[in-house]
Amino acid sequence: MQRVALLGTGIMGAGMAANWLAKGFPLTVYNRTRSKSEPFVEQGAAVADTPREAAAAADVIFAMVGDDNSSRSVWLGEDGALAGAKAEAVIVESSTLTPDWIRELAQTASEHNVGFLDAPVTGSKAAAAQGTLALFVGGDAATLEKARPALEAISRQINHLGPIGAGATWKLINNMMGAVHMAALAEGLVMAEKAGLDMEQVVNLIQNSGVHSGIVQLKLARAAERRYDDTDFALRWMHKDARYALALAEQFGLTLNTVGGAEKIYQQASDKGFGDLDFAAVVEAMRDSEG
């Protein structure tokens, strides 16, 4: 059985950790706030004080953190996981990050003689808990096969998209589209409210129409009921992903008008203090801005 290390036990990481433990994988976890890792001790995990310590005995080392800076902090430096990783281990970056950083990290991993995959995930908090995430993988096929047992333990689908950076690129495209769907829902709900429509009927109409996308299906009830706690995916992370996508588009000479508009709405929501709530709370920025 592969020995797994996990760096980051937030909303998604917690579900991943629980699945590895339930399926018998020896697991060591690290989180910047140690108290968030300690609940896994009762399930059989070891808790490390540094990423380097977490990585020391692992065959596969995963990170699930918030952004490029957080990723750098867990992988690099004297206490970083790469300093502790054994030769021939595989490191898997499952966070939603910029392809540029992913390729830089892959080069550094190669210099440490460890394999590398970028494998961001998609799915809700429930999917993480149930082990039914979908993975978007960039990297070579041999490294993917080496890490496959640990990957399959947390997922229902592994999509190999191509070389390193391909997974990160598609994840940004996936999330930028989700950000637009939610921003459009926010505008539609607020416009319906302003028009004095029966909102219960509006919700029913959306649910039975062509605009009822997967994101709308997940977030419609939250937005309509103004229920944003018990976060599945925080608004600040969706805002970050939209910004990363816009920066990537610039590299391709593209102007993403709809994503740019959505990003402005997420910025308004962040400015008004909704960043740590579920990203369905973007509708509150519209309600507030429109009085």
pLDDT band at 290 (very low <50, low <70, confident <90, very high): very low
- pLDDT tens profile 36-60: 888 899 999 999 999 999 999 999 9
Question: Are 287 and 226 in contact, with CB atoms under 8 Å apart?
Answer: no
- pLDDT tens profile 186-229: 999 999 999 999 999 999 999 999 999 999 999 999 999 999 99
Beta bridge partners of 116: 91
Estimate to the nearest angstrom the gap between the alpha carbon of 48 and the chain centroid.
22
pLDDT for residue 35: 87
Question: Are 86 and 28 in contact, with CB atoms under 8 Å apart?
Answer: no
Domains parsed from the chain with CATH numbers:
4-162 (3.40.50.720), 169-289 (1.10.1040.10)
Question: Are 243 and 260 in contact, with CB atoms under 8 Å apart?
Answer: no
Q: What's the predicted TM-score (pTM) here?
A: 0.95
- The CA distance from 187 to 6, in Å, is 38
Catalytic residue (choose from 86, 125, 171, 194):
171
**Does the annotation mark 219 as catalytic?**
no
